[in-house]
């Protein structure tokens, strides 16, 4: 049985001092107006890492005021794209120079594997900035050949003050997925990191200032969703919201936007993504892929492959081998290099995942392995697999957001596709087969924003990402990501010899 490793080798990792715990408004770290603070917790131990300023509506008002002034009167939207790009490149270099500290903070704050934050997340945030820094001087409009001797052209202008509401599962990466294009477009921003993992957003605010990004362009309000987050979503002077998180809160963001100033909204929400495995697949490869698809980042991934749909001829072998592989998946301290899975983010998520497991048992699914918390302290859960899962069970429908795989059987390709699409979500899907025709048919038939063939958890900055159905709308990454923060203005003028001249 995979169990939590309880040695204290992580003591060897030097934990950084927590330097930034206050709100960042108009280029300064400041206390909340209320003076309140909240605890940020180490999910390995449930101990308090630091106390962070608890911003609410009053602080959001100050941050939006600073962002508004920086947008309306400051240099940021006015400067050339290449100059903005140059400052963003500098910001990226500073992230690289401080990568060890940023990676350690994120592993500590969010219970994420240190090797992953070090090798992937933090370098990726710097590269994401560079990708959009390179795009900042390539924001062009069109020229229009209009009738009646009129000349038209379009400008693509920054949308204004953007509110970026970010979740905790990839605190840096998902911040930069929206922050980098917003800044490159010339917007000014108010960031609301998730209350569970705010440390890196504050550290990055400090780096942005060092890079020379003008005061007021990037503001960070730490605090809770229903107070700080909701105040941004309903603010009359915020022009755009980019939200990543739960479908439930996504809905409330749209409602707040509709009730206030009709600000535009981009939503990147949850999923219940299928991995469809066909009879001709290499079963060992499929088992490995399915394990990564669900257990990567402890199942706290919006595109987690949480439903493995397996064709009947290989079903039994797949199930047998999956149990063995799950037991080899090491749960333990995320600072240890040989560990595959750290603790869930907080007590709420930990209890939610365990409650779903209990529910799955009551619904009649077969618990093959895992199913329990592990370790004396911290939010560790065993990699868990259910078989004999039916489409209408709650564990097959809801986003559990933890290390819980549901295995289901299908007969024909048509049935596999139908089962895959039987979800209110549509974020991603995987297909495992050697048959190109099958792969192409599935890719065309799946209602999801991303289809991965014989791979999973892959992507790149030029690969658009986002949902169909209740997984949201709008696309992150690629130039689509930049479009989220731009609006088009058409300008029309008579030509020299037009009748209006």
Q: Hey, which residues are catalytic here?
A: 268, 302
Point out which span in 67-75, 175-183, 242-250, 278-286 binds ligand NAI (CB under 6 A).
242-250
Count of positions on this chain that bind ligand NAI (CB under 6 A) = 25
Parallel, antiparallel or unpaired: strands 472-473 and 264-268: antiparallel
Binding flag, residue 103, ligand NAI (CB under 6 A): no
As a whole number of angstroms, the longest Cα–Cα distance in the chain is 85
Binding flag, residue 273, ligand NAI (CB under 6 A): no
106, burial (CB in 10 Å: exposed 0-12, middle 13-18, buried 19+):
buried
How far apart are the C-alpha atoms of 347 and 82, rounded to whole Å? 45
Point out which span in 135-143, 202-210, 219-227, 334-342 binds ligand NAI (CB under 6 A).
219-227
Smaller CB separation from ligand NAI, 90 or 480: 480
How far apart are the C-alpha atoms of 177 and 121, rounded to whole Å? 11
Beta carbon of residue 245, minimum distance to ligand NAI (angstroms, whole number): 3
Handedness of CA 232, 235, 240, 245 (dihedral sign): positive
Three-state secondary-structure class, residue 332:
coil
Q: DSSP labels for 85-150?
A: HHHHHHHHHHHHHTHHHHHHHHHHHH---HHHIIIIIHHHHHHHHHHHHHHTT-----EEEETTTE
Beta carbon of residue 170, minimum distance to ligand NAI (angstroms, whole number): 8
**Residue selected from 111, 158, 270, 449 as contacting ligand NAI according to rule CB under 6 A:** 270
How far apart are the C-alpha atoms of 368 and 376, rounded to whole Å? 23
What is the DSSP code (8-state) at residue 461? T
Which residue number places its CB atom closest to ligand NAI?
225
Binding flag, residue 481, ligand NAI (CB under 6 A): no
Binding flag, residue 106, ligand NAI (CB under 6 A): no
Point out which span in 84-92, 101-109, 183-191, 229-237 binds ligand NAI (CB under 6 A).
229-237
Point out which span in 123-131, 222-230, 404-412, 442-450 binds ligand NAI (CB under 6 A).
222-230
Beta carbon of residue 427, minimum distance to ligand NAI (angstroms, whole number): 8
Binding mask 384-403 for ligand NAI (x = CB under 6 A): ---------------x-x--
Binding flag, residue 307, ligand NAI (CB under 6 A): no
Binding flag, residue 92, ligand NAI (CB under 6 A): no
Q: Give Cα 293 distance to the centre of its chain.
A: 16
- Name the β-bridge partners of 428: 450
487, burial (CB in 10 Å: exposed 0-12, middle 13-18, buried 19+):
middle
- Name the β-bridge partners of 295: none
Smaller CB separation from ligand NAI, 246 or 264: 246
Q: How many contiguous H segments (helices) and E segments (strands) does the chain have?
A: 16, 24
**Residue selected from 160, 167, 375, 383 as contacting ligand NAI according to rule CB under 6 A:** 167
Binding flag, residue 202, ligand NAI (CB under 6 A): no
Task: Report 325-354 residues binding ligand NAI (CB under 6 A).
Answer: 349
**Residue selected from 156, 192, 209, 263 as contacting ligand NAI according to rule CB under 6 A:** 192
187 within 8 A of 485, measured Cβ to Cβ: yes
**Residue selected from 229, 342, 375, 416 as contacting ligand NAI according to rule CB under 6 A:** 229
- Hey, what are 101's tokens? 């500290």
Beta carbon of residue 64, minimum distance to ligand NAI (angstroms, whole number): 14
Residues in the chain: 501
How far apart are the C-alpha atoms of 374 and 5, rounded to whole Å? 9
Smaller CB separation from ligand NAI, 169 or 340: 169
Task: Report 245-264 residues binding ligand NAI (CB under 6 A).
Answer: 245-246, 249, 252-253
Q: Which residues bind ligand NAI (CB under 6 A)?
A: 165-167, 169, 192, 194-195, 224-226, 229-230, 233, 244-246, 249, 252-253, 269-270, 302, 349, 399, 401
């Amino acid at each position: 049985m995979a169990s939590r490793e309880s040695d204290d080798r992580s003591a060897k990792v030097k934990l950084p001092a927590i330097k930034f715990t206050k709100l960042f408004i108009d280029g300064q770290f400041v206390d909340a107006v209320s003076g309140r603070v909240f605890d940020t917790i180490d999910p390995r131990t449930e101990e308090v890492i630091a106390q962070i300023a608890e911003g609410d509506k009053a602080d959001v008002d100050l941050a939006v005021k600073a962002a508004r002034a920086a947008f309306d009167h400051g240099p940021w939207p006015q400067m050339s794209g290449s100059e903005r790009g140059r400052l963003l490149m500098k910001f990226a270099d500073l992230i690289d120079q401080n990568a060890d500290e940023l990676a350690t903070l994120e592993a500590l704050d969010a219970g994420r594997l240190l090797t992953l934050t070090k090798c992937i997340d933090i370098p990726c945030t710097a590269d994401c900035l560079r990708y959009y820094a390179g795009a900042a001087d390539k924001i062009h409009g069109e020229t229009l050949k209009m009738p009646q001797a009129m000349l038209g052209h379009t400008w693509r202008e920054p949308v204004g003050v953007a509110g970026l509401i970010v979740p905790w599962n990839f605190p840096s990466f998902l911040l930069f997925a929206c922050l980098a294009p917003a800044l490159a477009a010339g917007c000014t921003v108010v960031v609301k990191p998730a209350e569970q993992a705010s440390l890196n957003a504050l550290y990055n605010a400090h780096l942005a200032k060092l890079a020379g990004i003008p005061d007021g362009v990037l503001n960070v309000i730490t605090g809770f969703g229903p107070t700080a987050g909701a105040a941004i979503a309903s603010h009359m002077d915020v022009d755009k919201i980019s939200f990543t998180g739960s479908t439930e809160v996504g809905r409330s963001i749209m409602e707040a936007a509709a009730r206030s100033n009709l600000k535009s909204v981009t939503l990147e929400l949850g999923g219940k993504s299928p991995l469809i495995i066909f009879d001709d697949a290499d079963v060992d490869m499929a088992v490995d892929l399915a394990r990564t698809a669900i257990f990567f980042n402890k199942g706290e991934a919006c595109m987690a492959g949480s439903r493995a749909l397996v064709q009947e001829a290989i079903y039994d072998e797949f199930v047998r081998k999956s149990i063995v592989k799950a037991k080899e998946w090491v749960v333990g301290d995320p600072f240890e290099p040989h560990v595959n899975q750290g603790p869930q983010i907080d007590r709420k998520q930990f209890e939610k995942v365990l409650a779903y497991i209990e529910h799955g048992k009551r619904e009649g699914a077969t618990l093959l392995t895992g199913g329990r918390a592990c370790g004396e302290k911290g939010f560790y859960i065993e990699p868990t697999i259910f078989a004999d899962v039916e489409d209408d069970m709650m564990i097959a429908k809801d986003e559990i957001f933890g290390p819980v795989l549901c295995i289901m059987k299908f007969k024909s390709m048509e049935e596999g596709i139908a089962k895959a699409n039987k979800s209110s979500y549509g974020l991603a899907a995987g297909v495992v087969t050697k048959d190109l025709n099958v792969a192409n048919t599935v890719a065309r038939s799946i209602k999801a924003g991303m289809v991965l063939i014989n791979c999973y958890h892959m992507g790149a900055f030029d690969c658009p990402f986002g949902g169909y159905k209740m997984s949201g709308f709008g696309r992150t990454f690629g130039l689509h990501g930049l479009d989220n923060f731009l609006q088009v203005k058409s300008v029309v003028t008579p030509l020299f010899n037009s009748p209006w001249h």
